[in-house]
């Protein structure tokens, strides 16, 4: 082999190693960062409020926990497929999030921007898997409130649903 050909192969090899190393160093983990802000246990209760501005009723026949968590998603990060042991209310505090619900036969994306909550059409009552993804180019922060049985983990990992795309 000529010296030029050997030198070209060495340079190409060095460039390949440098490129792979740079990609590994700059790669994201693909996971979000969460902070539990608080969790408390409530006994049986019935709260009813009827006014022109608010008509709401909350009933619980047994003790339960309410937990609030702040979850930060960098661009491209996601929650992984999971469910919850009870209802979950999600508010996107900043940025934009995309949610996919395994209960939707088409697994259509639901895009939520800062200031919007997830309405009844996507409210997770803990009966099926979903994934939260930051598909935008900016950081997204969510405030999540969970209603759960006392002491039970707030998240249940789930397998990839067959009706939803792989990410």
Q: How many residues does the chain have?
A: 167
Question: pLDDT tens digits, residue range 128-166?
Answer: 899 999 999 999 999 999 999 999 999 999 999 999 988
* R_g (Cα) of the chain, nearest Å: 22
Please check whether residues 5 and 80 belong to one and the same domain.
no
Q: Are residues 1 and 39 in the same domain?
A: no
In the block, tokens 């009723």 appear at 57
Evaluate whether 73 touches 137 at the Cβ level (below 8 Å). Answer: no
Q: Are residues 66 and 111 in the same domain?
A: yes
CA 78 vs. chain centroid, Å, equals: 5
Residue 7's pLDDT is what? 36
In a domain, 125, yes or no: yes
What is the pLDDT, as a whole number, of residue 17? 37
pLDDT of residue 115: 73
Q: With 50 as the cut, is the pLDDT of residue 9 above it?
A: no
Long-range pairs, 57-61, Cβ under 8 A, ≥24? none
Whether 9 is covered by a domain: the verdict is: yes
Q: Please report where in the chains the tokens 């990992």 appear, as a residue.
A: 157
Mark whether 69 and 95 lie in a shared domain: yes
What total number of domains does the chain contain?
Answer: 2
How many other C-beta atoms can be found within 10 angstroms of the C-beta atom of residue 97?
25
**What CATH number does residue 106 fall under?**
2.60.120.10
Domain membership of residue 96 (yes or no) is yes
What is the reported pTM? 0.75
On whether both 21 and 61 belong to a single domain, the answer is no
7-21, 54-68, 113-127, 147-161: lowest mean pLDDT where? 7-21
Can you give the pLDDT at residue 165?
84
Residue 163 domain-assigned?
Answer: no
Q: Domain check: are 25 and 44 in the same one?
A: no
Same domain, 118 and 69: yes
Are 47 and 22 within one domain? Answer: no
- Domain containing 72 equals 33-157
Is there a domain that residue 74 lies in?
A: yes
Q: Are residues 53 and 116 located together in one domain of the fold?
A: yes
Q: Is the per-residue pLDDT at 23 higher than 80?
A: no
145 and 63 fall within a common domain: yes
The count of other CB atoms within 10 Å of the CB of residue 84 is 22
| 85 and 20 part of one domain | no
Same domain, 93 and 112: yes
């Amino acid at each position: 082999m000529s010296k030029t050909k050997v030198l070209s192969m060495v340079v190409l090899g060095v460039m390949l190693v440098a490129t792979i190393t740079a990609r590994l160093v700059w790669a994201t983990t693909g996971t979000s960062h969460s902070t539990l802000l608080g969790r408390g246990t409530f006994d049986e209760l019935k709260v009813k409020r009827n006014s022109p501005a608010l008509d709401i009723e909350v009933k619980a026949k047994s003790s339960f926990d309410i937990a609030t968590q702040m979850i930060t998603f960098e661009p491209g990060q996601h929650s992984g497929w999971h469910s919850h042991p009870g209802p979950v209310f999600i508010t996107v505090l900043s940025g934009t999030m995309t949610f996919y619900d395994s209960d939707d036969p088409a697994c259509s994306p639901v895009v939520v921007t800062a200031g919007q909550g997830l309405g009844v059409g996507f409210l997770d009552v803990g009966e099926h898997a979903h994934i939260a993804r930051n598909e935008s180019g900016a950081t997204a922060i969510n405030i999540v409130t969970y209603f759960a049985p006392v002491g039970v983990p707030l998240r249940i990992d789930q397998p990839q649903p067959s009706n939803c795309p792989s990410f």
